[in-house]
Chains A and B, each alone.
Chain A
Amino acid sequence: MITAQRIRVAAAITSKKRLLEVLAELLTSAHPQLCDAGIFERLIERERLGSTGIGHGVALPHARVAELTHEIGAFVQLREPIPFNAIDGQPVDLAFALLAPDDDSDQHVRQLAGLAMLFSDAERRTLLRRTTNPDTLLTLLTCEPPL
């Protein structure tokens, strides 16, 4: 679902809008059939219906995309936290974006629940904030809980 190429470390991003733009660029980098302006728009649209900031500085922006056959993800670690209108009001410095195919399966909802579970681990969040090596981050993001 995610590769080291779709992980950005210590990103200097100053707004929710820029963060979603960067996530859209990462998500479309490996998929020439996707247009980043379109993905950005989808993520923005979804945020408008309700923030995906799940608390503790974590956001999980997501959207369905007809062009995909499987889920793809991208991860950004921010240098400074930014306002995200999250559920606990805390600014966000870890963001995992998930795009899912537009089908009937509930696979993507399970993926999202899995991510929420993964990020609910305080120890893992600390490591995700400290680590600057994309490959280590990839392991942290993909190995099943518990650590």
Chain B
Amino acid sequence: MKIIILGAGQVGSSVAESLVSEANEITVVDTDTRRLRHLQDHLDLRTVVGNAALPSTLQQAGAEDADLLIAVTQSDQTNLCACRTAATLFKIPTKIARLRSADYRDHPELLDQKNFAVDFNICPEQIVTDYLLKLIEFPEALQVLEFAGGLVSLVAARAVEGGLLVGHPVSDLRQHSPDLDARIAAIYRGNQAIIPKGDTRIQAGNEVFYLAATHDIRQVMSELRQRDRPTRRLMIAGGGNIGSRLTMAAEARYQVKVIEINEERARELGATLGSALVLHGDATDETLLAAENIDDMDFFLALTDDDENNIMAALLAKNLGARRVLALINRHAYADLLQADRIDIAISPAQISIGSLLAHVRQGDVAAVHSLRRGAAEALEIIVHGDAATSRVIGRRIDELELPAGASVGAIVRGLQYATPETPRSGQVIIVHRDTVIEPEDHIILFLSNKSLVNSIERYFQVGLAFF
């Protein structure tokens, strides 16, 4: 695929990094030559210096040949203008714009083909905020990801002594709760992935991934560990873009304290937030943390834009008695080092938000992509089309599929209707069994223990030549 990425900031760079491959030809556009040089030194891609909204810049970037435009500059206006230009002058088939301001998204008609011609819009800060909210809601989870418009969830959690299923084979799940349908997609012992069979035993300390209808995920969790007490008190370090969004979304349901180092920003936040308490200070200052009763906190989230500060603040908070700590870490290498050691959850914001972009780059009708285990594994939602003659999967039973080792189908959502302003989303969630038969238009949710399997899986689920 030929892809043009506008903006070489945090989002643009990580998108470029994850899309660079033999199959993709990538051009990154930015006004900052230093940033572009840095990217070019690391990755095999082309760069163009210039104003991303100008026709001449887009032309120079190869817009006439491009399959996909990803407009992720800091400016909503530049992104919108670039999409319109790309549609009118260059007919780029798929255009994605980053829109930070909710204003535009409140008027979807502005984004349609007659106007700004944005096929998909994303707001990375909002995606990260939603992800963090899920973790607040499920204190036992390491990751909670949604598929099929939210009907199905994939949950990662560490098995802890005391969970009903810990020390028992996976197949016991059905005996404990005959009415509960869930599928254990993978078990990690250290970095070793195990695609479980019925007799695979879950051990304490294992990282378990399971799929279930979203309304069942709490009940499945209790099989893996005793329920933690629900989250009530939060402390957030950093009142920036993500910190303030999260506080606004959480302050009605939780007691929230925000620590912001910039005095002016702290005052501004204090004026706009409701019940949350804004403190001016340094989150790596142990006296401040102790004075604010860090040992009473159910969850401490370090969300500043500085990796080192986030790591230090989270370590300190854990040490001072916070029940659970999370650090946002932009550098993958750091995140890999830290998770499961002394920081409960270390996540890179790019990794969280990139899935929504990846879905559009993939071959076939891929509705969602979530990267797991910090990028090593992946979960996919693929919509199948055609019939028994034009598809290799439709009309076949799950146990008749020829899937490579390390790939498994966990769930199907049938007859999915996404929510509209008039109607709620609807669809039938099927946790698959050996004899489940795939039907046309099913949403298939797959777990891949290794992302190198992605290509062959996508090909396998595509329609054949005869599909019209």
Contact = CB atoms under 8 A, between A and B. Distances in A.
Contacts of B462: 49-51
A40 B462 CA distance: 20
A49 B67 contact: no
Chain A to chain B: the 4 pairs with minimum beta-carbon distance, closest first: A50-B462, A15-B65, A50-B463, A44-B93
Nearest to A14: B65
Contact of B467 (A15, A18, A50, A113): A50
Contacts of B64: 15, 18
Given A17-B93, A44-B93, A46-B467, 6 more contacts: A15-B2, A15-B65, A15-B66, A50-B363, A50-B467, A52-B465
19 contacts: A15-B65, A15-B67, A17-B66, A21-B91, A40-B93, A41-B93, A44-B93, A46-B467, A46-B468, A49-B364, A50-B463, A50-B465, A51-B363, A83-B23, A85-B23, A100-B468, A108-B468, A109-B466, A112-B466
Interface string B357-392: 000000111000000000000000000010000000
Contacts of B196: none
A9 interface: no
A40 B463 CA distance: 19
Contacts of B466: 109, 112-113
B381 to A, nearest CB: 15
Contacts of A116: 465
Contact of B365 (A49, A85, A113): A49
A11 interface: no
A62 B390 CA distance: 14
Contact-residue size bin, chain A (C-beta under 8 Å from the other chain): 20 to 34
Interface in B416-468: 462-468
B65 A18 contact: yes
Contacts of B23: 83, 85
A17 B467 contact: no
A103 B373 CA distance: 47
Contacts of A40: 91, 93
A14 B91 CA distance: 15
Nearest to B67: A17
Contacts of B468: 46, 62-64, 100, 108-109, 112
B365 A112 contact: no
A125 B67 CA distance: 28
B457 to A, nearest CB: 13
A147 B325 CA distance: 73
Nearest to B391: A50
Given A49-B364, A49-B365, A54 B91 contact: no
Contacts of B467: 46, 49-50
A40 B93 CA distance: 9
Q: Which of A44, A48, A63 has the most CB of B within 10 A?
A: A48
B79 to A, nearest CB: 21
Interface string A43-84: 010101111101000001011100000000000000000010
A124 interface: no
A54 B188 CA distance: 40
Nearest to A82: B65
A103 to B, nearest CB: 11
A48 B364 contact: yes
Interface in A103-136: 108-109, 112-113, 116
B153 to A, nearest CB: 27
B389 to A, nearest CB: 9
A109 B466 CA distance: 6
A18 B62 CA distance: 11
Contacts of A100: 468
Contacts of B464: 50
Contacts of A41: 93
A35 interface: no
A57 B91 CA distance: 25
Q: Which of A14, A17, A100 has the most CB of B within 10 A?
A: A17
A71 to B, nearest CB: 11
Given A49-B462, A63-B468, A17 B364 contact: no
A37 B91 contact: yes
A8 interface: no
Contacts of A50: 363-364, 462-465, 467
